[in-house]
Amino acid sequence: MKIVFFGTPDFATPSLRALTGEGFAVEAVVTQPDKSRSRSRSKLVAPPVKVVALEEGIPVLQPDNPNTAEFIETLGEYRPDIGVVVAYGHILRQELLDLPTNGMINAHASLLPQLRGAAPIQHAISQGLPRTGITIMQMDSGMDTGPILHQVETDIAQDETSGELAANLAEIGALALVEALTYMAVGQLTPREQDGALATYAPKLSRKTARIDWSQSGQQVARKIRSMDPAPGAWSLIRDKAVKFFGPTVLEGESSGEPGTVLSNDRNSLVLATVGGSLSIQEVQPEGKRRMSAVDWCCGAGPRTGEKFD
């Protein structure tokens, strides 16, 4: 079975390593172009999957747009049996999806049809879901609407961040891909159509969606903070400057302060009032600064008791 692998971020590298480690014939890796990372924009950084592919001696293709006729013709020269897509970052046109003999499959980080879309990991945490998982699906022209081939579930820990859950799901996804392709090779995969009536959505994150809503409960605010950790960071304004929060703990007991108000900023903790309670914050990232201990911030230029985040 000749495979072309589409992927870009760290999330995709365990899957590529698993496929090559299990002896699958990965003929080519398609990833995004190298990105400028230095301030002068003179230093290019390769996508993580490119680094793995080069280590394995696999050809790497980095089109600006994978949907051009020229690229589709180039990919066709590899005569792939199947395409595997893991967090590639581009919507693929039908002509490209149909190029491999057996089409393309995708590893999606949710239990479809739940949380279709660009940010299923973050939305699973912010919504307080107890479980999520990986779905291996046959790709079609819709947004995560194709038939389900294989699913693996996992619990979401109460204090888990999106970064921690992503790392867990990346490993689960690698195993799920190996299992799905192994079952497919021996004809033991039965596609199952999704029930569109049960679909929920996980739209792309934005600065607006990362802003903390202080009208929500302490549990909801804590979930928002964990869902945006490490990026883009859940934030709120104070003194007209944005501050990102990390490491929330919901405290027991009622709070007399207006939601968003600083209740404590001593050497032990930063505590903020929420609806019906309060929240302790472990780390912050003030606008233009590095991520730091909330206590260190409060001992310096941080907020004073009684000040309010907006």
pLDDT value of position 183: 96
Q: DSSP letter string over 55-72?
A: HTT--EE--S-TTSHHHH
Look-up of token digits 């941080």: 302
pLDDT value of position 60: 98
- The residue ranges of DSSP E strands in the chain, in sequence order, are 2-7, 25-30, 35-36, 44-45, 60-61, 82-86, 104-108, 131-138, 148-155, 234-238, 241-251, 262-264, 270-274, 277-286, 292-293
pLDDT, tens digit only, all 310 positions of the chain: 999 999 999 999 999 999 999 999 999 999 999 998 766 566 899 999 999 999 999 999 999 999 999 999 999 999 999 999 999 989 999 999 999 999 999 999 999 999 999 999 999 999 999 999 999 999 998 999 999 999 999 999 999 999 999 999 999 999 999 999 999 999 999 999 999 999 999 999 999 999 999 999 999 999 999 999 999 999 999 999 999 999 999 998 777 789 999 998 876 789 999 998 999 999 999 999 999 999 999 888 889 999 999 9
pLDDT value of position 39: 63
* CB proximity list for 147: less than 8 A, separation 6 or greater: 137, 138, 140, 191, 192, 193, 194
Q: What is the CATH number of the domain that holds 47?
A: 3.40.50.170
One domain for residues 55 and 171: yes
pLDDT value of position 181: 97
Is residue 247 in some structural domain? yes
One domain for residues 140 and 254: no
pLDDT value of position 265: 85
**Cβ atoms within 10 Å, residue 186:** 7
164-218 confidence digits (pLDDT tens): 999 999 999 999 999 999 999 999 999 999 999 999 999 999 999 999 999 999 9
Is residue 306 in some structural domain? no
Distance (Å, whole) CA 87 – CA 280: 34
One domain for residues 158 and 232: no
One domain for residues 11 and 145: yes
CA geometry: angle at 84 spanning 79 and 88, to 5°?
A: 115
Query: What residue numbers bound the domain in which 182 lies?
Result: 2-198
One domain for residues 232 and 185: no
pLDDT value of position 268: 72
What's the burial of 83, exposed, middle or buried (CB within 10 Å: 0-12/13-18/19+)?
Answer: buried
pLDDT value of position 41: 62
DSSP-based three-state secondary structure for 23:
coil
* Main-chain phi, psi angles of 180, to 5 degrees: -60, -45
pTM assigned to the model: 0.94
pLDDT value of position 40: 56
Residue 138 bridge partners (DSSP): 105
